[in-house]
Amino acid sequence: MENAPRICIVEDEPDIGELIRLHLQRAGFQPRLFANAESFRVHLRRHEADLVVLDLMLPDADGMEVCRALKQEPKTATVPIIIVTARGEETDRVLGLELGADDYVTKPFSPRELVARVKAVLRRRAAPEAPVSVVAGDIRIDAQQHRVTVAGKGVDLTATEFRLLALLASKPGWVFSREQLLDHLWSGEKAVVDRTVDVHIKNLRDKLGPSGRLIRNVRGVGYKLEP
């Protein structure tokens, strides 16, 4: 268990939090439960997390702001986040994805499904990518270190953003349809919503700065990376 992935659960409803913790523990993870955002922040100052299961409606903070803060902090920017909440509107889902969340689960949910999603997100993060490559001069992808640089400067990407860029870079100039991108990134394991790919592309472009313009939209088809 010492080498098992460390999962932080931020959930203020005791019954739901304990249910998640118990199922993750049975699945071989090291789960840690937090009833509010502050206790979770204190924990992160001294400990690392391999994944965060985050409720949006916390007693002392908005979960969206917690998600935003995690993605803006270099130490936690690449830690996968699965949002678990009763707020199931599409606007909330899209906002969560825009902030960098890797998955979004609405209550009520099956604990077994959540465990499967945790495993899927961690699998995607650990999956081997293409070898080191240089794309369009400025963008460099180092799959072994899971690192992307633009003009020599490091760029913090989520696991999903990294896989998306790696796929586009695997065939510069090739147009990938949204269906192909969704299948590559989630393989049917994610209950995706409309605009999911567009949201991740937007985030990726923003993080790549001027080089983000190399990711082109092909109207009515999908996306490509200019060679």
The domain that contains 89 carries what CATH number? 3.40.50.2300
Whether 1 maps to a domain, the answer reads: no
Is there a single domain that holds both residue 122 and residue 22?
Answer: yes
The residues near 149 (Cβ < 8 Å, ≥ 6 apart) are: 139, 140, 142, 155
Query: In this structure, are residues 141 and 148 in contact, taking their beta carbons and an 8 Å threshold?
Result: yes
Percent share of the chain, pLDDT over 70: 89
Is residue 76 scored above 70 in pLDDT?
yes
Instruction: Provide the domain count of the chain.
Output: 2
Q: pTM to 2 decimals? A: 0.66
Determine the pLDDT at residue 187.
61
Is there a single domain that holds both residue 157 and residue 98?
Answer: no
Is residue 158 scored above 70 in pLDDT?
yes
For residue 33, give both structure tokens.
């439960």
Q: Which domain holds residue 119?
A: 6-126
Strand (E) or helix (H) holding 28? none
Query: In this structure, are residues 206 and 185 in contact, taking their beta carbons and an 8 Å threshold?
Result: no
Residue 212: name the closest of 157, 147, 131, 160 by CA. Answer: 157
According to DSSP, the β-strands at 30-34 and 6-10 are parallel
Q: What is the mean pLDDT of the chain?
A: 86
Query: What is the Cα–Cα distance from 27 to 17, expressed in whole angstroms?
Result: 15
